Amino acid sequence: MDLFQRQWATYRAVLDHDLMEHQAMSLACGQVLRQVCATAKAPSLVDLGCGDLGLLAPLLLTLPLGHYTGLDLCAEVLPLAQAALSQAPFPRSWMAEDLLSWANAPQAEAVEVIHSSYAVHHLQQDQDKANWLRGCRRRITPGGRLIWVDVFREAGESREAYLARYGGRVEGWNALRPDQRQAVLAHIQRFDYPAERGVIEGIAQEAGWSWQWTWEGHHAAEAMAVLSPA
Ligand SMILES: C[S@@+](CC[C@H](N)C(=O)[O-])C[C@H]1O[C@@H](n2cnc3c(N)ncnc32)[C@H](O)[C@@H]1O
C-alpha cells in the first residue's frame, strides 16, 4: 500500500466505525438536498473536496440533479469517485483543483448547490475561509444553497485547545489500530484549522450569506451549516 492508499484506508476506517458521526450527518444532508431538489428544477451541484464519494454516492444517486461536479485537490481520489457515480442518471464532471481557486475563478458560471464536507477546515487562515465564502457567494444562483459540513471550534476556543480536546477523543477510538490512531493524530495536528463558531458566522454574513446550523454532532466539533444568499 502506498501513502495515499494508507491514508485513505484510515479515513475509510473512521467512516466505517462512524467515529465522526457521518451516518447522522448524511441523513441530515440528504434532507436538505431533497428540499433543494424539490424547489430548484434539476439543479447543478458542485462538491468541493469530494473525496472518493464512498459515503455520499448512494445519496447522490437518488437525486434528480441536472449536473454533478466532483472537485478534489488530490487527483488520485477522482477515479474512485467517478466509479462510485458510474450508474448516475445525470452528467458528471471531474476537476483536480483547489476549492479556493474554484470559488474565485473569474467569470465563472453560478450553480444552484455548492456542497463541501470536511475539506474547508484545511484552509489555514480565516482570511482564506473569508475569500472562499466570498467566492462561493459570487458563484451561487439567487435561490441557491451552500451546504458546509465540517469540524468547527467552539466560540472562544483556541486551535491548540481544540486539538487537545479532539486528540483526546481520537485516543479513545479503540476501533482503530494504534498506528491508525497515530496517523489521525498526526493529520489533525498538521492539517486541521477549524473555523471558530460565531467568528465564521460573522465572516459569512459580511460575505453576503445568511447562516443556519442544520445538524450538530455530539462532540461540539462536527456540524453542518446551510448558507443562503442574504
Ligand atoms: C476528509 S476528506 C472528505 C471527503 C468527503 N467530502 C467526505 O466527507 O467523506 C477531505 C477531502 O478534501 C480534499 N481537500 C483538502 N483540501 C482541499 C482543497 N484546498 N481543495 C480541494 N480539495 C481539498 C482532500 O483531498 C480530501 O479528499
Q: Is the dihedral of CA 51, 74, 8, 174 positive or negative?
A: negative
User: What is the position in ligand 1's atom list of the atom closest to the CA of 15?
Assistant: 9
C-alpha cell at 90: 445525470
Question: What's CA 210's distance to the chain center, in Å?
Answer: 18
CA distance 58 to 52: 12
Domain residue spans of the chain: 3-152+192-229
Give 11 Cα–ligand 1 centroid separation in angstroms.
11
What CATH architecture does domain 3-152+192-229 belong to?
3-Layer(aba) Sandwich (3.40)
DSSP tag of 109 = P
Is 113 in contact with 33 (CB distance < 8 Å)? yes
pLDDT (tens digit, 9 = 90+) per residue, 145-168?
999 999 999 999 999 999 999 999
Is 104 in contact with 177 (CB distance < 8 Å)? no
Give 118 Cα–ligand 1 centroid separation in angstroms.
6
pLDDT (tens digit, 9 = 90+) per residue, 87-119?
999 999 999 999 999 999 998 999 999 999 999
Q: Which residues line ligand 1 (CB under 6 A)?
A: 11, 49-51, 55, 72-74, 77, 98-99, 117-119, 122
Give 73 Cα–ligand 1 centroid separation in angstroms.
7
pLDDT (tens digit, 9 = 90+) per residue, 118-130?
999 999 999 999 9
3-class state of residue 193 by DSSP: coil
Q: From residue 81, give the alpha-carbon distance in Å to each of 47, 85, 104, 225.
A: 11, 7, 24, 24
